[in-house]
A and B are shown apart, each in its own frame.
Chain A
Amino acid sequence: MRSHQVTIYKLFPMQFCRFSLFVLLFAVASARAGDLQVSGFGSIVGGTVLSGDGYWARLPEGAGQYQQGLELMSESRLALQANYALAEQWDFVGQFVARGHDQFEPKVAWLYGALTLSSDRQLKVGRLRLPVYQYSDVMDVGVTYPWLRVPSDAYSLAVTEFDGVMLSQRWNWQAGSTKFTIYSGQRDTDPNRLITAIEQYKNEQKFNIVGDFVGLGDIHTTKFYRDMRGLVLENSIDWLTLRFSYLKGRENFSYYDISPNGYRLRFGDEWLPTRFLDGSVQLDLKNFFVVAEWNYYQKIYKSWFTSVAYKAELWTPYVYLSGFKGTQRWAVDPLRLDDHYQSTGLGLRYDLAPRVALKTELTLFSDKGDAPVFIDRNRDGDTDATALAVSLDFSF
């Protein structure tokens, strides 16, 4: 397993050089085009482990791994978005995210054309965020939610984007609004970094003859998603928001061993039908913010989270509980079937300025299953951890 562990005094000059070039290109573009609007956001996240062998937030694409010392690369990210008004009804949107997890190499998160069919109806074509969760669209935009990160136990789908088409219709009522979205598309992930890391921790931990952990075995996993068709129904009535999403399609999971001769398929490479359901309730009261979300990935897992935050002017303390229980459609080691874990987060957000928030969170991770979900040095299948993280979220 390649580690991105970096101590505070060895921080990223090369990566920021690369990102600065990326920023410069956008600045030049915006200076030349009046119809181009450039905006952005970012989060600088630092974390450490207070107890346990390590903590892994897992999102996105396996990011958020903390083992020892202060880790600043794993979840930090910077993003730029360009909105270009091509014509009265046509807009083009490109959002590029540079993550510390990827050595700040900019990658396309969104890239689509949007056709405004009416004031309440819009068609989008291109690369889009898969809208399966309540917070799918804003997972990277830390300033928009109270937590240091969206509780990742409940946001574990191995694909976050898709290439396709999306049609949204909104109805405004006297008491609130209803938004209905349908979409279709596909996405290939090769390698699938989240699943590769999960399987490495579950099945590929290597120990020497005296029982010391020596590393993770090399594997390669892929997940291909085709014929994805989904819908989202969201109802907002003043302080109450109810949301339901459903996705169906086909997926193909492959697990390869890596040897000097190349990849050797250990299992998988079979197309199977798949379904994903998610429901959430959100209460946005005067001082209290309450949310609960539950989802079901057919034959693979169930997960959930619930949270309460108290908004007191600039301060927002919060608590959340989240859980994940796998049902293992694919199992490499039948003795390690039980993926089951829960997290408790206690945190605080402080708004330094309208566009800047400082957050801290204590995360208590409780591994209740047999399968290790991080390095398991004593090989008991129990990978409990306590982690502390601080973030600075901003937008511009």
Chain B
Amino acid sequence: MKTTIMCLVLLLLPMLSRADLVVVVSRDNPQQLTLADIRKIYLGQSSTFSDGAKALPVMYAEGTAERAAFVKHVLKVSESQYIGIWAKLLFTGNGTPPVELQDSVGVEAYILQHPQTIGYLPRELADQRFRIIAELPPAVEN
């Protein structure tokens, strides 16, 4: 049974495309951000929203399809580059990596509990409790 579930998960993971993810904040958070602003926050180049309020970015854990899509299509770096950027900031005392959570349930709960959080979710989970501030850019066909 476990093997069957694992196989299903592995089959479904690649189906999570960039169009399925949206960047969200909690409903009461008034912030407006561009994809460039989001990228700066997630790569440690900025720690605040445009009005100066502290931003708390949240990530899915390593190995999840949501994280892979976000890192590739929004941050536009490889997973190794993302790890390296934050290792540099962490080990020089210039930043702490985003909180990492295992699944959408954890991400949803964290965003709702911490009003300054910015996160991303599969579109179908971004209900009225959240406000969508960005969608992943459309794919460029090669």
Q: Which residues of A contact B (CB under 8 A)?
A: 37, 39, 41, 79, 81, 83, 93, 95, 110, 112, 114, 119-120, 124, 129, 137-138, 140-141, 143-144, 172, 177, 236, 313-314, 351, 354-355, 357, 395
Contacts and interface: CB of A to CB of B under 8 A. Distances in A.
A90 B62 CA distance: 29
Contacts of A93: 93
A140 B45 CA distance: 22
B81 to A, nearest CB: 8
Contact of A141 (B48, B88, B94): B88
Given A172-B45, A177-B45, A112 B80 contact: no
A114 B84 CA distance: 22
Given A41-B87, A119-B54, A137 B46 contact: no
29 contacts: A37-B96, A41-B91, A81-B90, A81-B91, A83-B96, A93-B93, A95-B91, A110-B93, A119-B48, A120-B47, A120-B48, A124-B93, A129-B92, A137-B88, A137-B91, A137-B94, A140-B91, A143-B84, A143-B87, A144-B84, A144-B87, A172-B40, A172-B45, A177-B45, A177-B46, A313-B78, A351-B80, A354-B62, A354-B80
Of the four ranges (under 10, 10 to 19, 20 to 34, 35 or more), the interface on chain B belongs to 20 to 34
Nearest to A313: B78
B83 A172 contact: no
B114 to A, nearest CB: 14
Interface in B84-128: 84, 87-88, 90-94, 96
B90 A39 contact: yes
B52 to A, nearest CB: 7
Contacts of A144: 84, 87-88, 91
Contacts of B45: 172, 177, 236
B79 interface: yes
The A interface, classified by DSSP as helix, strand, loop or mixed, is strand
B130 interface: no
B38 to A, nearest CB: 13
B23 to A, nearest CB: 19
Nearest to A131: B92
Contacts of A313: 78
A144 B62 CA distance: 18
Contacts of B83: 143, 354-355, 395
B83 to A, nearest CB: 4
A353 B9 CA distance: 21
